[in-house]
A and B are shown apart, each in its own frame.
Chain A
Amino acid sequence: MKKIKLLLFSIFGSVFIFGSILANAVEIEYWQYTYKARVEAIDKLIANFEKANPGITIKHINFPYADYRKKVAIAISSGDGPDLVQLYYGWLNDYRDSGLIQPLPKDAFSHDEIESNFFKMVSSMKVDGEYWGLPTAVRSLALFYNNDLLKEAGLSGPPETLDDLVDYAKKLTKRDGSGNMIQEGLAFDGGIGQTHHFWREVLVRHYGGQPYSDDGQKIAYNNDAGVKALTYLTDFEKTHKTTSNGFMNRGQDGFAAGKVGLYIDGSFRISKFVKAEGLNFSISELPGHNGTRYNFSSFWANALSSKAKGEKKEAAAKFLAYLTSDEAMQVWLDTVGELPAKPSVALVDANKQHELYGPFIRGLDYATATTFISEKPQRQSVVDAYDMVVLQGVSPKDAIAKVAKKEQELLDDFFGN
C-alpha cells in the first residue's frame, strides 16, 4: 500500500511540476525573409537564447522576400502572425501607419543607451518620441570591381572620384564586331538593387543638394542638384555607353559571371560573389567628389508586432534585447556578413581593415539613411525617371520635374497636407 501511495504521489507530483513548467513556457514567433545565411544566423541565436532562457521557445518562420511584406501585413492585421518581426527600416512609416507594430518599451530599451551605443542611422527608427525597432546589422554601399578585368584594361587600383568612375567604365566596356556589348563597364540594377539609393543619398548630395527637406515632408531634389545627379547616372547608359540595363539580366549576375568591370551594391552581396567560381574581385569605398564622400546605409530592424501582448511581449522584448547585443552582432557578422549596428563591434580594427567588410564599415561613417514613407513608390520614382531619360529621351530636367510632382503628392497624402 505504501509503495502504491508513493508511486501515485510521484506521478501526480511530476505531472504537476511538468504541467507548471509547460504552463510557464512562453512560445513566441519570429518572422523574417528567407535568405539562407540569415536563417542560419537566427537559428543559432535562437539556440543560444533558448539555452539561457528555458521558459521561452521561439518559432522561427521565414518567407520568400517577394511575398514577405504582404504576408506580414495580412497576418498581423488579422490578429495572427509574429510577435517579433523583421522589417526593412524604409517600411517603418507604413508599418506604423497600418498599426502593425508597437513602440519598444522604454524601460527595457532606454533611449540614451540606444543613442550612445548604436550607429547614428538607427535614429531613423525614432518617431514621435518612441523607438520602433532596432537592428542587429546594418549595410552600406561600396564599389565592387573585377581585378582581372581592370588589369586587362591597364588600370591599377579602384576609381577614387566620380570622374574616375566614368573613365574606368569607358575603358572596361567591350563590344563585339556588331556592336553588341560583351563586357559591361559599370553595372547597376535599374529597378531593384541599390541604384536609387546611390542616386538619392550619394549623387544628389555630391551635386550640392539633398533629397528631402529636413522635416522630410517636401521633395528637395527638384532642382539643379537632382537634375545633375540624374544626368550623371543616365549618361552611363545614354552617352558613355558603358552600361546596359538588363545586360546579363541583372548587374549582380553579370558581375558574378565575370562580365562586368565595376558594380555598386550593398554588403549583403559579398557572399554571392565569394561563391562565384573564378571571380577575382575587390571592394573599395564609393568614389568621392570634390574631396567628400557620401554613402547610403540601410538596415533591417527587429520590431514588436502589435499582436504581442502580456508575457509574449515580455519574452519578445527579451529576445530582441539579445538580438541587439554585441554577441549577437558578431555572430551575425560571421554568419551573414552584415555589418554590426554598434560602433563598438563594427569599428574594431580587425573588422575595419577587413578585406571585404572594411570598405563598407568605413563607409558607415559618412552614410545617411533616407526616411522613406513608402519605399516602393519612392523607389519607382527614380526608376521611372531613369527610364524616361534612357528609354523615352525625356530631358533629365523634365523627368525630375515629373516624378517629383508625383512623389510630392505621395508625401502630401501621407503627412495629411
Chain B
Amino acid sequence: MTNSNQIIEKLEHLNPKKIIIWTLVFLGSIVMVTPIIFMISMSFKTGQEVYIFSLFPEKATLKNYIFVLTDSKFIYWGLNSLWVATFSTLSVLFFDSLVGYTLAKYNFRGREIIFVAILSTLMIPTEMLIIPWYMMSREFGWIDTYWGIAFPGLMTGFGTFLMRQFFMNLPDELIEAARIDGWSEFAIWWKIAMPLVVPALSALAIFHFLGNWTAFLWPLIIINDPDMYTIPVGLASFNGEYEMNWEIVMTASCLATIPTLFVFIFLQKYIIKGIMLAGLKG
C-alpha cells in the first residue's frame, strides 16, 4: 500500500522538462559507447561480413577470438602488461607517497626547490627522453626486460604533487603525538599517515595503472622480442602494410579493452570517488 503511494509521489515529481533532459543525457551516453559496441560487433564477424554495416552479425563466429588467443601471443602480452603495470604502480604508490609526505610534513632547507624541481618534470615530454633512455638501457642490459619497460615510470611528478596535497591536510598533532610516543619516522609514515590517504592512493593507483596499461611509445622501443610485448605494442603488430584484417584488429582491440572495462564495472565506486578527490585537490 505504502509502496504504490511512494510511486505515485515520485511520478508527481516528474515533469516533461526533466524527462527530456534525462532522455538527452541518456542518449548522449549511448552515443559515447557506440564505438565500443561496434568494435565488439565487428569482432564477431567474418572477414567478408565485416564490410557490411550491421549491428548483429548474420553468421556470428568465435573464429577471430580463437585466432587471437591461440595463434598470436596475445596471452603473453596480457601477462606482460599486467606484470609491468602492477610493478610500476606499486613503486609509484610507495615512492610518490614517501616523497609527497616528506615534502608536506618536514621542514628543511631546500624543500621548496626539490618540490618545484619535481613538479617541473611534468613539463618534460617523454618524447624528449626516449633516446637517452634507450642508450642507458643498452648500457645496463635492460633491453627486453620488465625493468627496461618499467623504469621510466617508477616515480612521477603528478603522483608526488597529488600525495603532497593530501598529506598537507593531515593534522600535524597526530604526527607529533606519535613521535612523542617513540615511533620511528618511517613507521609514522607507513602506519599512521598512509592509511589516512587511502582515497588518494586509490586514485593514483588507478591513474597510473591505466596510463601504464595503455602506454605505447616507450615499450615499442625497448622491446624487441615479440614474447615480451605489452598489449598496445602487440595490438599494433596486427597492423602491417602487408597484412591488415579488420576483423582480427577489432577482436584484438576488444581483448585489449574488455579487461579494463570489467575492472571498472566492479570498482566503479572507488574509481570515480578517487578521480573526484584528485580533481578537487588539483
Looking at B7-15, B114-122, B221-229, B256-264, the stretch in contact with chain A turns out to be B221-229
Contacts of A18 in B (CB 8 A): none
In the bound complex, how far is the Cα of B240 from the Cα of A277, in angstroms?
Answer: 21
Contact B240 A276 (CB under 8 A): no
Please indicate which of the listed interface residues B221, B224, B236, B242 has the most CB atoms of chain A within 10 Å of its own CB.
B242
Contact A61 B226 (CB under 8 A): yes
Contact B241 A66 (CB under 8 A): yes
Closest to A256 in B: B47
* Residue from B143, B225, B242, B246 in contact with A35 in the complex, judged by beta carbons closer than 8 Å: B242
The answer to whether the Cβ of B134 comes within 8 Å of any Cβ in the partner chain is yes
Contact B47 A276 (CB under 8 A): yes
Shortest A132–chain B CB gap in Å is: 23
Contacts of B220 in A (CB 8 A): 67
Contact A80 B51 (CB under 8 A): no
* Residue from A34, A74, A248, A257 in contact with B48 in the complex, judged by beta carbons closer than 8 Å: A257
Closest to B46 in A: A277
The answer to whether the Cβ of A387 comes within 8 Å of any Cβ in the partner chain is no
Closest to B137 in A: A78
Contacts of B244 in A (CB 8 A): 250, 253
Interface residues on B, range: 20 to 34
* Residue from B135, B225, B238 in contact with A78 in the complex, judged by beta carbons closer than 8 Å: B135
* Residue from A66, A75, A248 in contact with B240 in the complex, judged by beta carbons closer than 8 Å: A66
Contacts of A5 in B (CB 8 A): none
A-B contact count (CB 8 A): 67
Shortest A97–chain B CB gap in Å is: 18
Contact with B along A256-276 (1 / 0, CB 8 A): 110100000000100010011
Given A63-B224, A71-B224, A78-B138, CB of A35 within 8 Å of CB of B243:
yes
* Residue from A64, A79, A257 in contact with B237 in the complex, judged by beta carbons closer than 8 Å: A64
Closest to B48 in A: A277
Interface residues of B (CB under 8 A from A): 46-48, 51, 134-135, 138, 143, 220-221, 224-226, 236-244, 246
Interface residues of A (CB under 8 A from B): 33-36, 61-67, 70-71, 74-75, 78-81, 192-193, 248-250, 253, 256-257, 259, 268, 272, 275-278
17 contacts between A and B (CB under 8 A): A33-B240, A33-B242, A34-B240, A35-B243, A36-B243, A64-B236, A65-B241, A74-B134, A78-B135, A80-B138, A80-B143, A192-B241, A248-B51, A250-B244, A253-B244, A256-B47, A277-B48
Q: Kindly list the 8 A-B residue pairs having the minimum CB-CB distance in the complex, ordered from nearest.
A: A64-B237, A65-B240, A78-B138, A257-B51, A65-B241, A64-B240, A35-B242, A277-B48
